[in-house]
Amino acid sequence: MVGQISKIVTALVNRIVIWKHFYQVLWRSITPKALLPTQIMTISLYLHASAGAYAKNSIPSPGAGSFISYNCKRALPIRVITVGKKRSLGVQLVVDEYIGKLKYYCKVEDLQLRSNPKNTGDVKAQIKDEDMAVMNIISSDDWVVMLDENGLDIGSEQMAELMGDAGSTGASRISFCIGGPYGHGPKMRERANISIKLSSMVLNHQIALLVLVEQLYRSWTILKGQNYHH
């Protein structure tokens, strides 16, 4: 009985958090002009999450030769921005392997920014410095996906949907941002078009990068109906 009540309370809290984010996005989106495609897409993703569309197996997994038809007008170039220490050789080899595979579908850029660029001993100052370093390389027409432990919990099919629909947003590039050891700064949180999480657990930035590039490749194989995702 106690376990059931706990699950119900947890579900209600998650629903409240999702709708809180939704109304924040909606409020920022209301202008005399029509909503931008990026804002419509973000609101749509929040609504899907709230309705349970991102629950496991809520969308049928594509079989061999199948094709998920999303509103994909064009393949946006991808930029992956990571804040952290120098990567290990093994991690870099795997990242390069998946980026090489991704280049069959779209242009890919892998950028690594050094954490704590000014070697400060103050955590708040470090977050601010890293925040500015990331913001300095993000263009105004980038569609920004922030990787964060409190972001939307989506599956591989929904990641593919995000990638496919990104081509209809009017953006020139989609940028995925992995924060430093203390997470993202306020400017990035304000700038991001959407926030997603790769896991409910906290991941080292190198592990997060490996998971991300594999999922990006998986997304394109789903969109193309190729025999990789099962």
Q: What is the CATH number of the domain that holds 153?
A: 3.40.1280.10
* pLDDT greater than 90 at residue 43: no
Residue 174 and residue 84 in one domain? yes
Q: Where are the beta strands (DSSP E) in 55-172?
A: 78-84, 108-114, 142-153
Residue 74 has a pLDDT of 72
Mean pLDDT, range 69-82, rounded to an integer: 78
pTM: 0.70
- The answer as to whether 62 is a domain residue is no
* pLDDT greater than 70 at residue 22: no
In this structure, are residues 87 and 206 in contact, taking their beta carbons and an 8 Å threshold? yes
Residue 37 has a pLDDT of 46
Residue 117 and residue 46 in one domain? no
Residue 49 has a pLDDT of 45
pLDDT digits (tens, 9 = 90+) for 162-215: 998 888 888 999 999 999 999 999 999 999 999 999 999 989 999 999 999 999
What sign for the dihedral angle of Cα 119, 151, 163, 216? Answer: positive
List, in order, residues 6 or more apart from 149 with CB less than 8 Å away.
183, 197, 199, 200, 202
Domain count, the chain: 2
pLDDT digits (tens, 9 = 90+) for 104-159: 999 999 999 999 999 999 999 999 999 999 999 999 999 999 999 999 999 999 99
Domain endpoint, select from 32, 50, 68:
50
Residue 191 and residue 104 in one domain? yes
In terms of residue numbers, what domain contains 30?
2-50
Mean pLDDT, range 29-33, rounded to an integer: 42
